Structure 1
Amino acid sequence: MKLDVCFSPELLPLYDLHGKIAVIVDVLRATSTIVTALDQGVTEVFAVASLEECAALGRERGCITAAERDGIAAEGFDLGNSPFGFLNPDFPVQGRALAISTTNGTKALRRSLDAAAIVCGSFLNISAVVKFIAAQQLDVVVVCAGWKGQFCLEDTAFGGALAEQLQPLGYDTAWSDAAIAALHLWQHAKPTWPDYLLESAAVRRLNALEYHDDFVFCMKPDVYPDILPLWQDGRLVRG
C-alpha cells in the first residue's frame, strides 16, 4: 500500500482518489472541531462549502449551525469553528445534527468525494485514523486543507505524523516526494512540537483573533482516540 500527501485541495485534479482512502486534514480547526463535536454526542455532521447551504440545513433540518470565514465566526450561526463551542455545558449538543462550513476544511472534503472512503483526521484522533487505514488496506491520500489553496505547515506535518505511524504497518511513503517532504517536516518539528508552529501563519492568525487556546488544544495527540468522522450517505458519522 502507498501513502501520498496532497498539499492543497487546488492540487487534487493531479491525484486519482478512486479506490483510495482520503484523509481530510484541517488541524486548525475544522477537522479538530468535527472530531470534538462527534465525541460530544453530535449524531451527524453535514460538511458544506457555502454559508447558504449551512444556514438552509439549520432551517430545514433543525441542525446546529457552525460557520467561519477567515478565522472569524460568521454572523447568524450558532457557533464558529472552535472545538470549545462543543465543550460548553451551556450549549448542549448531544443528540443533534450539525451543519458546518469553514474557509478551508469543508471545501477540501467536498472536493474529495471520488475517494472510496473519506475520513477526517487531526492530532486529536490520529490513532483512530491509523486503525481505520490499517483495517481497510487501501492506498491513502492525505488531503491537506491548507489556507485558501496555499500550503500550510500544520496540515502537512499531520500528514508526516500519519506517515510515520503507517510505515511500520507496511505503507510505502518513500515513493512520493510529497510524502517524503511531509515526513521530514514532521520529524524536524516533532522534538519541539507544538512550539514549532508558533511562527506559522495559521497560529499567528489565531493568536491575533485571541484563539490561542484553540491552537493548544488542537495540537494534543489522541484526546479522542476512538472518534473517526466517516463520510456516509452525504454526511459524516462516527465510524
Structure 2
Amino acid sequence: MSKVEVSFTPENYHVYENLDNIVVVTDILRATSAICTALHHGAREVIPVSTVEEARFYKSKGYLVGAERNGVQLEEFDFGNSPYSYMNELEDRSVVLTTTNGTKAINMAKNSFQVVVGAFTNFTALANWLSQQERDILILCSGWKGRYNLEDTLFAGALTERLEQMGTVSLTEDSALSAKYLYNLAKDDPYKFLMNSSHRRRLKKLNLKEDIRYCLSMDNTEIIPVLHEGSLVPMNDQVLEELRLAAETAED
C-alpha cells in the first residue's frame, strides 16, 4: 500500500524529497486552480516559470503570459492568476505563467518521478488517477512566501481522506493525518472556515471574492495537468508513456 505525506511549505520540501514519488503540487488560491482552468479551456500547455525575468523573455517571443505577484496582475502581461482570465481564446495556445508561490513550487519538484497539479476543481479526477498508482505520494503545498497556509492544507487533507477511503494509501505519517484532521473541521463549509485565513483576507481586499468561491468549487474539470518536458499538459496515455520511458532512460 502506498504512503502519502504532506509538505506544508516549499521550504520543507527537502525533508520529504524522494525522486521516486509522485508529487501533487497545490496552490488553491490561485495558481493551480488557474492552470487546471486554462487546460480545460483548450490551452495546449502551461509553462511554469519562477521569475518575472523569465516571463518577460517568453513575452518577447510572442507567448501569452500570465504574471502575478502579491495577488496582483503585473501590468505588462496578458493575465494574472485569476481562473476567470483563462476561460476564453486559449484554444491550442501556449501560456506561460509565473506566480508568487505556485509556479516556484512546481519547478522545485520537477525532478520527481511525476509532478501533477491538484486543485479542488479537478479533485475527483486526480484522486481516481492517484488511486491506481502503486507509488508513494507527496502533496506539496505552495503556501505563501514560504509560510504555511490553510487553503492548501485543506486540499491536502481532502485528498488524503479520499485516497484513504478508496483503500489505496496508508495514513501512517503525522503530516497526512494532521491535514486530514484539519479538513474534517472545515469540510462542511470550507469557504466559511477560511473566512479569517491570511490569503483569503489578502484577496478579499483586492475584491476577488468570486475567485475564492471558484477555487473552492469541486470538480469543474477532469483535466489532470502533468509536468512533461518543462510544460504542464493534460495527462493522457501518450504523455504517461513518454514520461515512463524518460524515467527508465534516466535510471540507465
- The answer on whether the counterparts of 2:67 and 2:99 sit within 8 Å (CA) in structure 1 is yes
- The answer on whether the counterparts of 2:9 and 2:140 sit within 8 Å (CA) in structure 1 is yes
Name the counterpart of 1:169.
Answer: 166
Question: Structure 1: which 4+ aligned runs deviate by more than 2 Å?
Answer: 168-174
**Following superposition of structure 1 onto structure 2, how do residues 52-131 of structure 1 map, counting pairs within 5 Å?**
52-60=53-61, 62-88=62-88, 92-131=89-128
- The answer on whether the counterparts of 1:17 and 1:112 sit within 8 Å (CA) in structure 2 is no
Instruction: Provide the rounded CA distance (Å) in 2 between the counterparts of 1:77 and 1:190.
Output: 36
Q: Which runs of 5+ in 2 are unaligned?
A: 236-252
Name the counterpart of 1:203.
Answer: 200
Name the counterpart of 1:16.
Answer: 17
Query: Quick one: which amino acid aligns to residue 220 of structure 2?
Result: V
1:137 to 126, 134, 147: 134
Tell me the SS of whatever aligns to 2:132: helix
CA apart distance, 1:52: 1.0
Name the counterpart of 2:185.
Answer: 188
Name the counterpart of 1:236.
Answer: 232
Tell me the SS of whatever aligns to 1:162: helix
Instruction: Provide the rounded CA distance (Å) in 1 between the counterparts of 2:47 and 2:86.
Output: 15
CA apart distance, 1:27: 0.2
- The answer on whether the counterparts of 2:131 and 2:168 sit within 8 Å (CA) in structure 1 is no
Tell me the SS of whatever aligns to 1:187: helix
Query: Quick one: which amino acid aligns to residue 130 of structure 1?
Result: A
Q: What TM-score do the two structures reach when normalised by structure 1?
A: 0.95
- The answer on whether the counterparts of 1:48 and 1:106 sit within 8 Å (CA) in structure 2 is yes
- The answer on whether the counterparts of 2:44 and 2:233 sit within 8 Å (CA) in structure 1 is yes
**Following superposition of structure 1 onto structure 2, how do residues 5-44 of structure 1 map, counting pairs within 5 Å?**
5-44=6-45
CA apart distance, 1:171: 3.7
Instruction: Provide the rounded CA distance (Å) in 2 between the counterparts of 1:78 and 1:123.
Output: 25
Identity of aligned residues (%): 38
Name the counterpart of 1:218.
Answer: 215
CA apart distance, 1:173: 4.6
Tell me the SS of whatever aligns to 1:167: helix
Residues paired across the two proteins, number = 234
Q: Which runs of 5+ in 1 are unaligned?
A: none
Q: Deviations over 1:143-187 (max 9, x none)?
A: 000000000000001000001110033344531111111000000
Tell me the SS of whatever aligns to 2:187: helix
Instruction: Provide the rounded CA distance (Å) in 2 between the counterparts of 1:3 and 1:17.
Output: 12
Q: From the superposition, tell whether residues 173 and 74 of structure 1 become closer, same or farther in structure 2 (CA, over 3 Å).
A: farther
Q: What TM-score do the two structures reach when normalised by structure 2?
A: 0.90
